[in-house]
Amino acid sequence: MELSGGQILVQCLKDEGVEFVFGYPGGSVLHIYDAIFHQDDVKHILVRHEQGATHSADAYARATGKPGVVLVTSGPGATNAVTGIATAYMDSIPMVILSGQVPSPVIGSDAFQEVDTVGITRPCVKHNFLVKDVNQLAETIKKAFYVASTGRPGPVLVDIPKDITDPNIKVPYHYPKKVSMRSYNPVVVGHKGQIKKAVEMLLAARRPIIYSGGGVILGEASRELTELTRLLGYPITNTLMGLGGYPATDKQFVGMLGMHGTYEANMAMHESDVILAVGARFDDRVTGKLDEFCPYAKIIHIDIDPASISKTVRVDIPIVGDVKPVLELMIELIKDNKHIQPKPVLDAWWELINSWRDVKCLEYDRNSPLIKPQYVVEQLYQVTRGDAYITSDVGQHQMYAAQFYPFDKPRRWINSGGLGTMGFGLPAAIGVKLAFPDADVACITGEASIQMCIQELSTALQFNAPVKIVNLNNRYMGMVRQWQEFSYQSRYSQSYMDTIPDFVKLAEAYGHVGILVEKPEDVRGALEEAFKLKDRTVFLDFITDRTENVYPMIEAGKGHHDMKLRVAPGAPADRELS
């Protein structure tokens, strides 16, 4: 079969089993778009801004586990995609980005819409390629999918000069079933001896805790993690990226840890003697001040990327490997082992943990005449029976979502953790809804974040991706305002916008339904109404208490045991428990 480069590209996507390409046309990709025109196996989702394409593809990948695919033109198309590429990179999301480039002969001449896409994206991709020969196109695409989705996943960009896709140049097509690269060996099997040592250490622990992260979701290992945790009877905490890796409604779950984690999770980390870190990368939002991080603990760390191990915190037993087989082996070894810690030792640990739970660190004022954002998230949980896909933007609302929507399944919680990209939520919701048209998909957002990719409301209509937008409208960049309140004596510099659009009208202008909710007693009904409108995108604008803050909070430079908690009703000032 002889095909042109444009046809090859589309055929590769078919052979790779790609369902959707999120993209936006332009000069350098016109040959490719013409090839897309002639088929309908691969569906093209026309976004309204290339950033939207990257977030939709990224969220599609987060929800399904399959790499997301993006197609953009050279120059501004590629630069618009950079934020989304970096977002995927920071959270290790498999994604393949196809970018057009000016024709090979003019590369380097400041040609029209030329940018050095390979150079610009190099620090925020797992790898990138510039295609120099149409005969290598198919193999390069295969390599891109292979690199993106194996090992520690990540975005891979393929830059394709326009002459490569010339319809007049046809070459034999062959899509390799498999590729291997001598410089890339992603399969890592955990070291047996290390795993044995780890199990011994775990079983001898008196105050153990399991700290798991996004690696469990990426490595499809939540079943194994759950089995191991239950077998051991130990407490478990998740990072923001790890939520859903272990059922959050289970009694062994102590909540998220870190900056806005629960009191019990952070205290348990601080007092622990053995930590089993699983697919988590000791991010600074998690560790707080490094010198004060878990002073009594020995640490076991399972991670597929050796560079994640002992990067910020030195660990005692490193295990480089894919989380799933490592956990399987651990489970096997524990089942064979007779030295499980006697019950009373663990009971004492749980007693301590339960005393921290009694602090009820997530409690908020339920009698307020204003809508509390936490209340909206709780009601959303109930209305969706805890079974929705929740995407979010970045800010306070993101933290309320993480704290008040307990995820029992992996891949349900879709947010930008590492880069913290405002604008992620809406295009993400669209990507998820396209993947799972029958599922409930809601985007929890804020009035500032939603405006960063609001144009994607139009995409949602065109491609029939009815999502529910839960706007926790506090008329502030709440997260920024909170920091300014705590650290800058409430000087709210530029964290406020005087002109917030009428979101109901805006939704209507885009062909959707808008609902304004101003009173707590209307929250439940509005949510129910929105989810009844199965085939409509609904923009729910909740006017929330603008002074609300996210608690607990570990302020910059503080340790886990040094959390700022909400002022107890009636108490004179902020309590700082230690």
Partner 1 sequence: MRHIISILIENESGALSRVSGLFSARGYNIESLTVAPTEDPTLSRMTLVTRGNDEIIEQITKQLNKLIDVVKLIDLAEAVHLERELMLVKIKTTQESREEVKSMVEIFRGKIIDVTPNSYVVEMTGQSSKLDAFVQSFAEGSIIEVVRSGPTGISRGEKGLHL
Ligand X SMILES: Cc1ncc(C[n+]2csc(CCOP(=O)(O)OP(=O)(O)O)c2C)c(N)n1
Exactly one of 50, 224, 271, 303 binds ligand FAD (CB under 6 A); that residue is 303
Does 94 sit behind a cis peptide bond, omega within 30 degrees of 0 on the bond before it? no
Q: Where do runs of H (alpha helix) occur along 319-462? A: 323-336, 343-357, 373-383, 396-404, 425-435, 456-462
The catalytic residue among 7, 11, 20, 50 is 50
Residue 482 C-beta: closest distance to Mg ion, Å = 10
Among candidate residues 540, 536, 511, the one with its CA nearest the CA of residue 525 = 540
Partner from Mg ion, ligand FAD, partner 1, none binding residue 520, C-beta < 5-8 Å depending on class: none
Rule CB under 6 A: say whether 447 interacts with ligand X: yes
CA dist 514 and 318 (Å) reads 51
Rule CB under 6 A: say whether 392 interacts with ligand X: no
The DSSP output letter for 553 is: B
Exactly one of 151, 478, 552, 559 binds Mg ion (CB under 5 A); that residue is 478
Among candidate residues 4, 5, 22, the one with its CA nearest the CA of residue 459 = 22
CA-based torsion, 375, 412, 306, 272: positive or negative:
positive
Among candidate residues 184, 526, 554, the one with its CA nearest the CA of residue 361 = 554
The catalytic residue among 126, 142, 143, 162 is 162
Partner from ligand X, partner 1, Mg ion, none binding residue 34, C-beta < 5-8 Å depending on class: none
Does 50 qualify as catalytic in the annotation? yes
Q: Which residues contact residue 111 at a Cβ distance below 8 angstroms, ignoring those fewer than 6 apart?
A: 102, 103
CA dist 413 and 390 (Å) reads 5
Does 558 qualify as catalytic in the annotation? no
Residue 495 C-beta: closest distance to Mg ion, Å = 9
Interface mask (CB under 6 A) for ligand X, residues 398-437, using x and -?
A: ----------------------xxx---------------
Does 479 qualify as catalytic in the annotation? yes
Rule CB under 5 A: say whether 446 interacts with Mg ion: yes
Which region, judged by CB under 6 A, interacts with ligand FAD, from 20-28, 74-82, 198-206, 302-310? 302-310
Partner from Mg ion, partner 1, ligand FAD, none binding residue 474, C-beta < 5-8 Å depending on class: Mg ion
Exactly one of 76, 167, 233, 420 binds ligand FAD (CB under 6 A); that residue is 420
CA dist 108 and 116 (Å) reads 8
Nearer to partner 1, 119 or 295 (CB): 119
Partner from Mg ion, ligand X, ligand FAD, none binding residue 466, C-beta < 5-8 Å depending on class: none
Q: Which neighbouring-strand residues pair with 100?
A: 160
Rule CB under 8 A: say whether 109 interacts with partner 1: no
Exactly one of 74, 379, 396, 459 binds ligand X (CB under 6 A); that residue is 396
CA dist 195 and 191 (Å) reads 6
Q: Which residues contact residue 109 at a Cβ distance below 8 angstroms, ignoring those fewer than 6 apart?
A: none
Rule CB under 6 A: say whether 261 interacts with ligand FAD: yes
Among candidate residues 397, 390, 476, the one with its CA nearest the CA of residue 436 = 390
Rule CB under 6 A: say whether 242 interacts with ligand FAD: yes
Exactly one of 91, 114, 303, 393 binds ligand X (CB under 6 A); that residue is 393
Q: Which amino acid type is present at position 245?
A: G
Q: Where do runs of H (alpha helix) occur along 171-213? A: 192-203
- Catalytic positions are 50, 112-113, 162, 479
Binding site residues, partner 1, CB under 8 A: 118-119, 122-123, 126-127, 130, 147, 181-184, 305-307, 310-311, 314
